Amino acid sequence: MLVSQLYTFLTLLFSLVVVSIKCDENETNYGRSGWVPPGMDARLFPVPEQLEDENAPDCISEKEPCGFYEFVLTLDSIFRWQKSWCRCSPNDECVYDKTDEKRRLYELVCRPKERKKRTQSRVKPRRTS
């Protein structure tokens, strides 16, 4: 009887540790890379290549997209990076803005670097089961 209770306790403790580690991973995804939507697994998103084309004009901050991630309805695939025609200014950073489900895109816009730091602390990622 005592052995089975101890086994149950250790199993619950282990499960609790695993769940807390997974929750911490989800919360840090947005902080490690601003181009990943909150609550999503950063490993599914390849690092954007050539975020800034030297010959491209500057994007209008928070209006014009600096890039997109295309996605399909199965979430186990890797997303594809699509570069925009413009680039962010030196004071801006290309970060996730919104999801366009109709066109199946995660849209990224140029946002001032200081503002990203402020809004990043307010973003709460979704918890997936």
Residue-level pLDDT at 7: 72
Q: SS3 sequence, 24-54? A: HHHHHHHHHCCCCCCCCCHHHCCCCCCCCCC
Residue-level pLDDT at 55: 82
Backbone angles phi, psi at 81, to 5 degrees: -85, 130
Residue-level pLDDT at 123: 53
Using a cut of 0.85, tell me whether the model's pTM lies above it: no
Hey, what CATH class is 2-122 in?
mainly beta
Domain boundaries, the chain: 2-122
Is 87 in a helix, a strand, or coil? strand
Portion of the chain with pLDDT greater than 90, in percent: 1
Given a contact cutoff of 8 angstroms between Cβ atoms, the answer to whether 87 and 58 are in contact is yes
Residue-level pLDDT at 38: 80
**pLDDT of 25-83, one tens digit each?**
444 333 446 778 888 888 777 776 655 667 888 888 888 888 888 876 666 667 888 88
Portion of the chain with pLDDT greater than 70, in percent: 60
Given a contact cutoff of 8 angstroms between Cβ atoms, the answer to whether 120 and 30 are in contact is yes
